[in-house]
């Protein structure tokens, strides 16, 4: 009986030790989770600060009694070329989409980075916004060639939606599920320079 009692006591002691160890593991996991959340929050704040520091500024110009950003020479297309693009596009949305392809060539490489971006960013997939400086240039050109989309609600419906559709559209040769698989398996690495650089100014 004494032997059984000793075994029972040993088992009880082992169980207590296991319970204590499990509690310590749980506590450690909770702290690790808290640290991960804190790290993500700090990283997000750092990205926002760096983005503001590297956000290009465009000097203002007065057009039609309104102050609008002046277009840098690198992106300032002549009226003849804008007219040619307009004739080919046949709509304000297609026109803006064509300029997006032209001004954001880095999104159309083999990595298909365009799948991770839309006009304003966000949405259910948490996409990134297009660089505001180049985006504003696209808006200016589009409004110049299509004055009827000047109002914000019309611009959003006819232009922004078209650009977002173009950014998420899959190439004709790509299988339907491939783009989703690419996004799922190859998310873009966190980049402190989150906004696309625009260093001509």
pLDDT digits (tens, 9 = 90+) for 114-157: 999 989 888 888 899 999 989 999 999 999 999 999 999 999 99
**Whole-structure pTM value:** 0.52
Q: What residues form DSSP beta bridges with 127?
A: 122
96 plus 180 within the same structural domain: yes
101 plus 129 within the same structural domain: yes
Residue 72 has pLDDT above 90, yes or no: no
**Residue 89: both structure tokens together:** 């596009």
Give the per-residue pLDDT at 189. 52
13 plus 86 within the same structural domain: no
22 plus 69 within the same structural domain: no
Domain assignment of residue 137, yes or no: yes
Domain assignment of residue 190, yes or no: no
DSSP state letters, 75-137: G---HHHHHHHHHHH-SHHHHHHHHHHHH-GGGGSTT-GGGGEESS-BTTTTBEEPPHHHHHH
Give the model confidence (pLDDT) of 77-127 as tens digits.
888 999 999 999 999 999 999 999 999 988 888 888 999 998 988 888 889
40 plus 119 within the same structural domain: no
Domain assignment of residue 175, yes or no: yes
Give the per-residue pLDDT at 112. 84
30 plus 81 within the same structural domain: no
70 plus 168 within the same structural domain: yes
Tell me if 60 sits within 8 A of 70, measured CB to CB: yes
72 plus 48 within the same structural domain: no
Q: Specify the number of domains making up the chain.
A: 2
133 plus 109 within the same structural domain: yes
Q: How many whole angstroms separate alpha carbon 180 and alpha carbon 162?
A: 20
Give the per-residue pLDDT at 56. 45
pLDDT band of 181, cuts 50, 70, 90: very low
49 plus 69 within the same structural domain: no
Residue 201 has pLDDT above 70, yes or no: no
78 plus 170 within the same structural domain: yes
What separation in angstroms does the CA of 140 have from each of 17, 48, 68, 132, 191?
A: 70, 26, 8, 12, 28
**Residue-range definition of the domain harbouring residue 80:** 59-185
Of 10, 33, 54, the domain-final residue? 54
138 plus 156 within the same structural domain: yes
Give the per-residue pLDDT at 73. 67
37 vs 68, which has greater pLDDT? 37
Mean pLDDT of 53-62: 42
pLDDT band of 32, cuts 50, 70, 90: confident
């Amino acid at each position: 009986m004494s032997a059984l009692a000793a075994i029972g006591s040993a088992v009880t002691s082992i169980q207590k030790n296991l319970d204590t160890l499990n509690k310590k593991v749980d506590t450690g996991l909770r702290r690790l989770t808290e640290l991960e959340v804190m790290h993500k929050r700090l990283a997000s704040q750092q990205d926002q600060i760096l983005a503001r520091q590297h956000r290009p500024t465009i000097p203002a110009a007065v057009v039609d009694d309104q102050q609008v950003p002046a277009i840098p020479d690198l992106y300032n297309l002549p009226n003849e070329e804008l007219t040619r693009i307009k004739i080919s596009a046949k709509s304000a949305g297609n026109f803006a989409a064509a300029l997006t392809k032209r001004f954001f060539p880095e999104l159309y490489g083999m990595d298909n980075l365009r799948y991770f971006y839309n006009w304003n960013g966000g949405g259910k997939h948490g996409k990134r916004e297009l660089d505001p400086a180049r985006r504003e240039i696209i808006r200016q050109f589009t409004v110049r060639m299509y004055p009827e989309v000047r109002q914000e609600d019309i611009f959003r419906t006819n232009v922004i939606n078209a650009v977002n559709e173009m950014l998420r559209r899959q190439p004709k040769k790509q299988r339907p599920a491939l783009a989703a698989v690419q996004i799922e398996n190859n998310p873009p690495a966190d980049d402190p320079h989150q906004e696309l650089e625009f260093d001509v100014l």
